[in-house]
Chain A
Amino acid sequence: MDWLYLLMPISGVSIFWPGLIILGVGVGIIGGFFGMGGAWMVTPGLNILGFPMAFAIGTDIAHMAGKSLISTLRHGKFGNVDYKLGVIMLIGTVVGFEVGAQMVMWLERIGNINIIVRWIYILLLAFIAWMVFYDLHKRVQKEKAAKAQGEVLDKMATGVNWAQALHKIHIPPMVNLKVSGIYCSLWLPVTVSFLTGWLAGILGIGGGLIRMPALIYLVGCPTHVAVGTDLFEVMISGLYGAGTYTYKGRTELVAAMVMLVGAAIGAQIGAVATKYIQGYGIRIAFGICVIGCALSIIMKMIQPLMPNLTTFLDNSSTVLILGLVSGMSLYIFYQMVKGVKNELAEKRAGVQ
């Protein structure tokens, strides 16, 4: 069975290459569907396959750049990428990220901040999950109210309208974002991206997990445009990251390429699935992923309190993340196949 293992030229470790393809397919689907880099799934996955942590991070970011490019191209064809918004957001993200990273270094000099960072992460994920399901709850209430009056709720209606309130702030310069259908102050996307970048900098993550809901609930993007635009940002930061990590000798390109074979298929499935799954379907699935991610962090956080259960909690956390990736990927794949079948059936009916 030696042929199933590939000797990596830089790190010198032998890796089970079908595992890389499977991991690539899973994160490709989820990344293409939700508009995330997905480092929180890939890095532990690569580590399990046998990569030292330093290489796991670099290889992850290299494959993330390629995968995001594929997804962005696909979303771009569907008209899901607001490039103007993406460039504006990049300004705030970069500045906010740097401020956050500097703040962490300053806090580190004062004392151990790991536990504080993890708590911020948990609270943030809890808030995002609450936001997603509160919005859903409000929309269901609106639907019921409309039904009671014998009306049908507009399909473009949302549960919460925070973004609309923010659009009323008219601080010049104003900007017209045609793809997103938004006319707002330029300072709105800049401020939102600064805040999400700042949080990402403090937490040491890429930020897709925070930016995607922020684009929906605060900037007011339609869900599909939020996904596509976020991927555009992940692509740019990923390409730059691939360069810096490779220069530091932390990237195993061979592994990234093998992963990219799977991720290319997965990213297409994820991106095409957004064609068939409605906006709220994406939001609910995203909310479930956020809850799973929060639970896995809680499991890691309580390990020092329960030394006897350390191994159990560690394994459970990994199983949870990989289970979530597998389950969600299968769900998205199933929905895509269903959607394609319906589309082809409609086409055939149209021909006849």
Chain B
Amino acid sequence: MKRIRKLWFLAVATCLWMLPALAASAAGGGGAPIVIVSDTRKLDGIMRWWGSLYNESHLQFTLLTVVLIPVTGCIFGFIADIVMGWIGIDLTKRKVHEH
């Protein structure tokens, strides 16, 4: 049993290591890095700040993007819950009619 557990641990670790390859093609392939500098001269306000952040630190820019996407998703999901509950849609159960 211990040996099987070890094997599964190894399999999961290998998968995590290989995850970038899966992710790189999840939207249709490709993945070679391109270097672009954001032209902030035409931008102002939050857009200028966003462009500057990209130019200053790719890592910070990436981390913020990865955090902002799920947070935005959760906020929209929460708002939709309120709206649908207000309409009267039952979001807690679904009758299984068919396989």
Contact = CB atoms under 8 A, between A and B. Distances in A.
Interface string A72-91: 01100111100000000011
Interface of A is mostly: helix
B99 A241 contact: no
A279 interface: yes
Given A66-B73, A246-B66, A340 B15 contact: no
A52 to B, nearest CB: 10
Majority-rule SS of B interface residues: helix
A37 B38 contact: no
A35 interface: no
Contacts of B28: 39-40, 43, 57, 60, 204-206
Contact of A279 (B38, B39, B99): B99
A340 B31 CA distance: 43
Nearest to A93: B22
Interface residues of A, number: 88
A156 B99 contact: yes
Contacts of B27: 37, 39, 42-43, 57-58, 60-61, 64, 206, 241, 245
B99 A238 contact: no
Interface residues of B, number: 64
A247 B58 contact: yes
Interface stretch (A123-131, A248-256, A305-313, A317-325): A248-256
Contacts of A241: 23-24, 26-27
A240 B17 CA distance: 12
Contacts of B87: 340, 344
A250 B92 CA distance: 39
A10 B38 contact: yes
Contacts of A132: none
Interface string B20-43: 111111111111111110111011
A63 B68 CA distance: 11
Interface in B55-80: 58-59, 61-62, 65-66, 68-70, 72-74, 76-77, 79-80
B18 A239 contact: no
A278 B97 CA distance: 6
Given A98-B18, A243-B62, A253-B50, A204 B68 contact: no
A77, A158, A205, A253 — most chain B CB neighbours (10 Å) = A253
8 contacts: A10-B36, A40-B28, A69-B73, A91-B11, A97-B22, A155-B99, A224-B94, A240-B20
Given A205-B25, A222-B99, A244-B31, 15 more contacts: A7-B42, A40-B28, A54-B34, A60-B28, A97-B18, A156-B98, A201-B22, A234-B26, A238-B26, A244-B24, A246-B62, A249-B33, A260-B76, A265-B80, A274-B94
